[in-house]
Structures are given as C-alpha cells and as structure tokens.
Amino acid sequence: MSDSEIKAMVADSEPPIFEERAFTTPVKLSEATVAVVSSASLHHAAQEDFAPADVGYRVLKNGNRDYQIGHWSPNFDVLGFATDMNTVIPLDRLDELESQGIVGKVSDIHLSYAGNQFDLSAIRMDSGPAGARLLKEKGVDIVLFTPV
C-alpha cells in the first residue's frame, strides 16, 4: 500500500471553479465559537449511515462523541480514527484550547459530509449552503475542515 499512490490517484479529480472567492474576516479566536466539519462520513452510532454517493450531511452532537466512520471509499487509513477520534475530529484538543482561553467556545454541534464525491454540484449548491446556514444559526464563527 502506498499513500503517495493513493494521493496521486485522487489528485486528478476535476477541481470546481470559483469565479469569486469569498473571504470572511474572522472574529477574534478567543471570542469565537468553533466547529469542525469533516468529510469522513462521521455519524452517531444511532444515526442513519451514509449511502453510496450520499450528498447530505449528519449533525454531530458535541456532547455525545460516539462518532463512527461511514465512508464508502476504501482509500484511507482507518486505524488512526479507530484509535483516536482526534486524528480526524480534534474535539479534545479544542476543549483544551477553550479551557486555556485560546478558543472562545467549542460549538455544540459539528457536521460531517461524505468526501468520496464524484459530482460536487449538489454539495456546492444545496447541502453545503444548508450546513453553513445551520452552523451560522447556531452561532458558529469559525469552521475547521478536516478531510478524509
């Protein structure tokens, strides 16, 4: 197994074109509510698993960290997440930064999408904006995206 070969394989997917690059000036990190959005198809054990080519997202409760990975792609290492959630969704680290006053607050919810997408249009036009609206309504100021 070669990580570099896997990366080379996925590198050639057609990138979406953004004619305008949005840029939001962040609030101060020490006053910000921070959420994580992962593409690892994470979900709670009791939640609906991801389907093949699932373009939706799952809401992850910060207070219940029983997340499981639901990827259909075999092209990633599983043991990092299996042994330490923070390898993919670093909530224990964010808790520590919050307790030190470096981060204002860890969000009550986080999101996960499925990263193994061939057509990004639905995520770009539909479930992506919906997820952003939800986090905005929940007072999230900053999102850390973690790819899997």
Partner 1 sequence: MSTLAHVFEAAGIATIALGSVRKQIESVAPPRGLLCDFPMGRPLGKPADAEFQHRVLKHAFALLESEGPVLEEFSEVVDCDAAEVLTCPMPPRNNEDVHPVIDEIRGLRPAYDRGIEKFGNRAATGRTLGVDDLESAIESLIRVAEGTPWKQAGIPGIPSRVTQDIRGYYETAALGLSDHIPSAWSGTNWFLDESEAGKLVLAARAAMKESGEKRPIWFYMVPGDR
Residue with the two structure tokens 């499981």: 68
Q: Judged by CB under 8 A, does residue 61 bind partner 1?
A: no
CA distance 113 to 121: 14
Q: Judged by CB under 8 A, does residue 99 bind partner 1?
A: no
Q: Rounded to the nearest whole angstrom, what is the least distance from the CB of residue 113 to partner 1 in the complex?
A: 7
User: Which residue in 54, 60, 114, 131 binds partner 1 (CB under 8 A)?
Assistant: 131
Q: Judged by CB under 8 A, does residue 73 bind partner 1?
A: yes
Q: Rounded to the nearest whole angstrom, what is the least distance from the CB of residue 56 to partner 1 in the complex?
A: 13
CA distance 55 to 52: 9
Q: Judged by CB under 8 A, does residue 129 bind partner 1?
A: yes
Q: Judged by CB under 8 A, does residue 25 bind partner 1?
A: yes
Q: Judged by CB under 8 A, does residue 83 bind partner 1?
A: yes
